[in-house]
Amino acid sequence: VPPVELPEVGVRASPAAVRAWCQAIVESLGTPVDIAADVADVLVAADLRGVASHGTFRLPVYCRLAEAGVLAVEARPARIGGTSVISLWDGRDGWGAHAGRVLIDDAIARASSLGMAAALVRHASHFGIAGWYAMRAAAAGMIGVVMTNTSPLVAPTRGRGQVLGTNPIAVAAPSAEHGMFVLDMATSAITWGRVLVAQRRGQALPAHVAMDTGGDPSADPAAVLDGGALLPLGGLEESAGYKGYGLALMVDILTGVLAGANTGTRVVPFSTALGPSDLGQLFIAINPVAVDADDFDRRVDLLLEDVLSAPAAPGGNPGVVIPGQPEADRERLQRRIGIVLDELDHASLAELGGRLSVPFPETRPFRCDALEDWE
Amino acid sequence: VPPVELPEVGVRASPAAVRAWCQAIVESLGTPVDIAADVADVLVAADLRGVASHGTFRLPVYCRLAEAGVLAVEARPARIGGTSVISLWDGRDGWGAHAGRVLIDDAIARASSLGMAAALVRHASHFGIAGWYAMRAAAAGMIGVVMTNTSPLVAPTRGRGQVLGTNPIAVAAPSAEHGMFVLDMATSAITWGRVLVAQRRGQALPAHVAMDTGGDPSADPAAVLDGGALLPLGGLEESAGYKGYGLALMVDILTGVLAGANTGTRVVPFSTALGPSDLGQLFIAINPVAVDADDFDRRVDLLLEDVLSAPAAPGGNPGVVIPGQPEADRERLQRRIGIVLDELDHASLAELGGRLSVPFPETRPFRCDALEDWE
């Protein structure tokens, strides 16, 4: 998920202070300290990487779900079956970030000797950015592969309406010299969050990434949000949108179907309090050392140098970047200048802090055109 | 890989006869009988499924490689390492279809008790349609996931030139009522074979699936074939082409890098006799029963019924199909009327048969407009 553009104006807050605030908010709902720490880690990581749609911005929704009893704030995932290679867990509708952290750690620990291991969970909740869990495996020297199904927003190729989730796939791998390879992508052509951002900013959508309620492609955010749907990655059938459609089904099969969770249209939307989503999630870790790939990270470099050496496409193009690099750059920037929030997001979080008597941390003004002075 | 359109006119030949001929051709090169049988099975399966670009059409190239000593016709894959969960093999530059069959069978056998198992191969050769191996796992009641890297044809997002392979991903899973789910897709927006077909038929390409030698998007097959490159799935960056680019890198990391094979620009093109391609390939089998998903195939049905129930998009759209269904329909048709070849492909195979003294089987004329009479 590449970072969204920084807002023209907004506020910035210390990452450590936002993390502490986030943890305190989650604890204030009755969540045990260690679980709240996982939630804060994952949400603030999304903020830092510029994936604001999956960061602390979502806290008001999580809080509403917790207060409605739909999110079980004290629940811990329980292992209920599977094998030594692929474990099956019940997430008990608890915090997704906590279950996700426990499950990727479980897969990493077993992959260390087995070479490859996986953990599957049913009754799982929204877990933020899938890339966080894949990156945890990469930080341990492994390849991480993480998938989740999500509530329906995407039309199948040749069809219309919200049937499949944006069902993301995240893959991370360490390299020796070029930072971490991190692919963290929805299998749709665009996310719902980006449509909302486009509407808020009065921008048109790219062609062929979404449809209106009648099933015709539409670049108008309002028409899409009013009963429309997203197109799968690839867009229309002629530009291979059937591949994104197939990938969305693949993710649902490997998560919801395999884990015994909800699938397709049965996944309860995250932002309602109608009931738990009962998502399915899959966490895989592969240990290159165990498969005799001792020089794995240098061989990743060799591949990444191939793409970095490609001449830039014309049109003032800034040149090739490695997946995950823009997010890593954004994190480096925000660790220095603070987490940047636009005024609407800041107001929403400040209101939440006020309501739960955990005031949002002190902020300083942010202006995009002053960015160079801070760098 | 959805079927290519049937030619207006051509010939048709009995599938059993084409299979026997294919096996005899491969044996005539000095290939042991059992290895030749695997090659014939995989190539004829591609013909039957309508993926002509990966079927017997490729035999002249395979023969050229064998005659040049680049393809080791007698070589058998050897297990050289890995673990009980993820085995590592040396393909010894032998027939890709044989090594692929051995490796998916190895993964299936171990997944039966382990729940999930994988096999990795280096020094691998072109193995035809990735879907064949994934379908073999699905026929055993499992989920199959298969990937291979391929020689460079795809430009990275923001770059130009041939840097990454079309690096396909295949996934198959059984369903109880709706046939097999089979996703078999290149991670590029289009394949090189389709560009060749468009040129031969005088058709323009869809917008934003390929570029010319300067890096500008081009719908002209000739401009693409003359030093251009394919775009990743998703097309341009604004329509999420960076996701296809990331998927292509992911496949190269999970195959070439992890297996210790060639990667990126170092993969030797299949159709030259410059040397072995030294591909990397990954075969994964997941056994739903071992992870307590006993009703797996019925739960796949439930998901597939969701997409089949979606109303059709407007514009005379034929309605939603399940990935793999068009190919299965084509196979059903061709098992009845025979494998259809256009006149160019038929001439090429007849010439090969003449040269190797293994005459191509008897054919009957094919005319697309007479199809209804035969059905």
| Per-residue pLDDT tens over the stretch A37-64 | 999 999 999 999 999 888 999 999 999 9
The predicted structure's pLDDT at residue A375: 53
B139 touches chain A (CB under 8 A): no
The predicted structure's pLDDT at residue B315: 83
Q: Could you tell me if A34 and A368 are in contact, meaning their C-beta atoms sit under 8 angstroms apart?
A: no
The predicted structure's pLDDT at residue B201: 85
Q: Look at residue A363 and tell me whether its pLDDT is greater than 60.
A: yes
**pLDDT grade for B375, boundaries at 50, 70 and 90:** low
- Length of chain B, please? 375
pLDDT digits (tens, 9 = 90+) for B65-95: 999 999 999 999 999 999 999 999 999 999 9
The rounded distance, in Å, linking the Cα atoms of B353 and B361 is: 9
The rounded distance, in Å, linking the Cα atoms of A153 and A214 is: 14
The rounded distance, in Å, linking the Cα atoms of B320 and B307 is: 7
The rounded distance, in Å, linking the Cα atoms of B372 and B114 is: 48
pLDDT digits (tens, 9 = 90+) for A95-115: 999 999 999 999 999 999 999
B138 touches chain A (CB under 8 A): no
Q: Look at residue B247 and tell me whether its pLDDT is greater than 60.
A: yes
Q: Cβ B83–A183 below 8 Å, yes or no? A: no
A346 belongs to the catalytic site: no
* Interfacial A residues in 25-64 facing B (CB < 8 Å): none
Q: Cβ B254–A143 below 8 Å, yes or no? A: yes
Q: What is the dihedral of CA A257, A262, A265, A270, to 10 degrees?
A: -130
B84 touches chain A (CB under 8 A): yes
Q: Look at residue A27 and tell me whether its pLDDT is greater than 70.
A: yes
B86 touches chain A (CB under 8 A): yes
The rounded distance, in Å, linking the Cα atoms of B92 and B276 is: 9
Q: Which amino acid is located at B54 in the chain?
A: H
Q: Look at residue A222 and tell me whether its pLDDT is greater than 80.
A: yes
Which of A71-80, A357-366, B5-14 shows the lowest per-residue confidence on average (mean pLDDT)? B5-14
**Residue that wins the pLDDT comparison between B303 and B368:** B303
The rounded distance, in Å, linking the Cα atoms of B304 and B322 is: 7
Q: Which amino acid is located at B4 in the chain?
A: V
pLDDT digits (tens, 9 = 90+) for B146-174: 999 999 999 999 999 999 999 999 999 99
Q: Which residue in B54, B98, B123, B126 is the catalytic one?
A: B126
Q: Could you tell me if B56 and B350 are in contact, meaning their C-beta atoms sit under 8 angstroms apart?
A: no
Give, in degrees to the nearest 5, the angle at Cα B217 between B215 and B221: 100
Nearest CA in chain B to A113: B83
**What average pLDDT does this structure show over A323-351?**
96
* B chain contacts of residue A266, beta-carbon cutoff 8 Å: 302, 306
Strands (E), chain B: 9-13, 78-82, 86-90, 116-124, 143-148, 169-173, 181-185, 210-211, 229-230, 279-286, 339-341, 364-367
The predicted structure's pLDDT at residue A1: 65
Q: Which amino acid is located at B188 in the chain?
A: S
pLDDT digits (tens, 9 = 90+) for A162-180: 999 999 999 999 999 999 9
The predicted structure's pLDDT at residue B52: 80
Q: Which of B113, B250, B278 should be substituted to probe chain A, the one whose Cβ sees the most A Cβ atoms within 10 Å?
A: B250
- Quote the mean pLDDT of chain B: 95
Name B40's Cβ contacts closer than 8 Å, sequence gap at least 6: B19, B20, B22, B23, B26
pTM as predicted? 0.97
Strands of the sheet containing B9-13, edge to edge, are: B339-341, B9-13, B364-367
pLDDT digits (tens, 9 = 90+) for A337-350: 999 999 999 999 99
Q: Could you tell me if A123 and A90 are in contact, meaning their C-beta atoms sit under 8 angstroms apart?
A: yes
- Which of B86, B247, B291 shows the shortest C-beta gap to A116? B86
Q: Look at residue B31 and tell me whether its pLDDT is greater than 60.
A: yes
pLDDT digits (tens, 9 = 90+) for B189-209: 999 988 988 998 899 999 999
Would you call A243 helix, strand, or coil by DSSP?
A: helix
Q: Look at residue A292 and tell me whether its pLDDT is greater than 90.
A: no
- Length of chain A, please? 375
Q: How many CB atoms lie within 10 A of CB A373?
A: 8
Q: Could you tell me if A252 and A261 are in contact, meaning their C-beta atoms sit under 8 angstroms apart?
A: no
Q: Could you tell me if B94 and B74 are in contact, meaning their C-beta atoms sit under 8 angstroms apart?
A: yes
B81 touches chain A (CB under 8 A): yes
Residue B135: in which H helix or E strand, if any?
helix B130-139
B247 touches chain A (CB under 8 A): yes
The 8-class DSSP code of residue B93 comes to T
Size of the A and B interface in Cβ pairs below 8 Å: 296
A328 touches chain B (CB under 8 A): no
Q: Which amino acid is located at A339 in the chain?
A: I
Q: What is the CA radius of gyration of chain A?
A: 20
Nearest CA in chain A to B252: A303
The rounded distance, in Å, linking the Cα atoms of A110 and B314 is: 50
- Give the closest residue to B258 by CA, choosing from A104, A111, A320, A246: A111
Nearest CA in chain A to B174: A253
* A chain contacts of residue B320, beta-carbon cutoff 8 Å: 156-159
* B chain contacts of residue A304, beta-carbon cutoff 8 Å: 249
Interface predicted TM-score (ipTM) of this complex, two decimals: 0.97
**pLDDT grade for B374, boundaries at 50, 70 and 90:** low
The predicted structure's pLDDT at residue A317: 83
